[in-house]
Amino acid sequence: MRFYYAPMEGITLYPLRNIHREVFGEWVDRYFTPFLTASHTHHFKNREKSDVLPEKNTALDGTLKRIVPQIMAANSENFIWAAEEMKKLGYNEVNLNLGCPAPTVVNRHKGAGLLAEPEYLDRMLCEIFDAVSDKEIFPEISLKTRLGFSDPGEADRLMKIYAAYPVKELIIHARVREDYYAGAPRLDAFKEAVSAYRTAGGKADISYNGNIDSAASFEKMKNELGIGSSCGEEQRAEVYSVMIGRGLLSDPSLVRQLKGGSALLPDELRSYLSRLYDAYAGYIPEDRNVIFKMLEHWAYLHVHFKDSDRCLKQIRKSRSRAEYHAAVNNIFAECEFV
Ligand SMILES: Cc1cc2nc3c(=O)[nH]c(=O)nc-3n(C[C@H](O)[C@H](O)[C@H](O)COP(=O)(O)O)c2cc1C
């Protein structure tokens, strides 16, 4: 099974991707960028463009084959423009965002908003894949979708639409838009969606996404989907890859563990945090902003420190590089690592 680092807006940018790779090695098979907006002006924002420049993505083989830029687009024309830009930069695959639940995105007929308009989505994909067949050099396209907008029953129709196109990989976040990121993933609906996709002739590899944050949750997902069990072929959802987001923020060594390697060590977490700070310092001005960025990570990483409320407060209150590093040294010195 393959493992992907999920796209997360404002978080899985090149500083994180590079440092994660440098510290934790080659366990993650692919890193997905946060979405780049393909706007009607056919210009990316500077920050978005800089995230995909090959010279910024230093830790990933220099070939970019392990990075997949994700595109958010409201229509085929903008998507095709953005995909061609990615190809020019050397990327072989782009991913279409069909899952972002934010109201500002949904109301502009983008992200999960497209799931509520299946006829429009079908036309958009038809135009995109027509363009692909016309252009030999076009990158491959994967989709990141949810099971529906408000009801997983919508998956049947969506899967029939996806099955009609030569999609490289279909990543399914096992929730509907109205779930946002909360509640248990809908594993039965995921299974039904995969089955509907195959029945309709869909050939893409299937990727599972949702709440894999430990060896136990990975086993649970596999058991519930019948992967690796002795149940009949027809009851088994095939999963080619697993995409992990928040689980990797909480435990950056998670994929290594899921592949049979060792658990997170305090020293490697220290090294990761220190290098991440330096990478962000080269990316954003002012200590305070770098610290805010690090706090996004601490919101997930604090689980490794027992009884850490007081030490965490000190990290949150830090306003300079020196204060921040002193507070981090303190949490490692004072709290039991778990
Ligand atoms: C802060 C945050 C930002 C996200 N940004 C994106 C994004 O840019 N594109 C995308 O497709 N999904 C985005 N997601 C969704 C994740 O890729 C993933 O589908 C979701 O977190 C569920 O997986 P997990 O349970 O492994 O975290 C985001 C999620 C979070 C929490």
Task: State the closest ligand 1 atom to the C-alpha of 248, by its place in the atom list counted from 1.
Answer: 26
333 CA distance to ligand 1 centroid (A)? Answer: 32
218 CA distance to ligand 1 centroid (A)? Answer: 18
- pLDDT block averages, 10 residues each, the chain of length 338: 97 97 95 97 96 91 86 97 94 97 96 98 97 80 98 98 97 98 97 96 97 97 82 66 98 97 97 98 94 98 98 97 98 98
5 CA distance to ligand 1 centroid (A)? Answer: 10
Closest by alpha carbon to 99, among 48, 43, 162, 160? Answer: 162
Residue 58: its pLDDT value, please? 86
Q: For 238, which DSSP code?
A: P
Residue 229: its pLDDT value, please? 59
- At what angle are helices 187-199 and 155-163 packed, to 10 degrees? 40
Residue having the nearest C-alpha atom to atom 30 of ligand 1: 8
Q: Is 244 helix (H, G, I), strand (E, B) or coil?
A: strand
7 CA distance to ligand 1 centroid (A)? Answer: 6
| Substitution site in 3, 4, 5, 9 for ligand 1 pocket (most atoms within 8 Å of beta carbon) | 9
CA 53 – CA 107 distance, rounded (Å): 30
Q: Could you tell me if the CB of 247 is within 6 A of ligand 1?
A: yes
Q: Could you tell me if the CB of 244 is within 6 A of ligand 1?
A: yes
- Helix H, strand E, coil C: the string for 49-102 is HHHHCHHHCCCCCCCCCCEEEEEECCCHHHHHHHHHHHHHHCCCEEEEEECCCC
307, amino acid identity: D
8 CA distance to ligand 1 centroid (A)? Answer: 5
| Substitution site in 4, 5, 8 for ligand 1 pocket (most atoms within 8 Å of beta carbon) | 8
286, amino acid identity: E
70 CA distance to ligand 1 centroid (A)? Answer: 12
Q: Could you tell me if the CB of 101 is within 6 A of ligand 1?
A: no
Residue 61: its pLDDT value, please? 66
| Contact (CB, 8 A) for 85 and 36 | no
Which CATH number is 2-258's, of 2.170.190.11, 3.30.950.10, 3.50.30.30, 3.20.20.70? 3.20.20.70
CA 217 – CA 318 distance, rounded (Å): 34
Task: State the closest ligand 1 atom to the C-alpha of 210, by its place in the atom list counted from 1.
Answer: 25
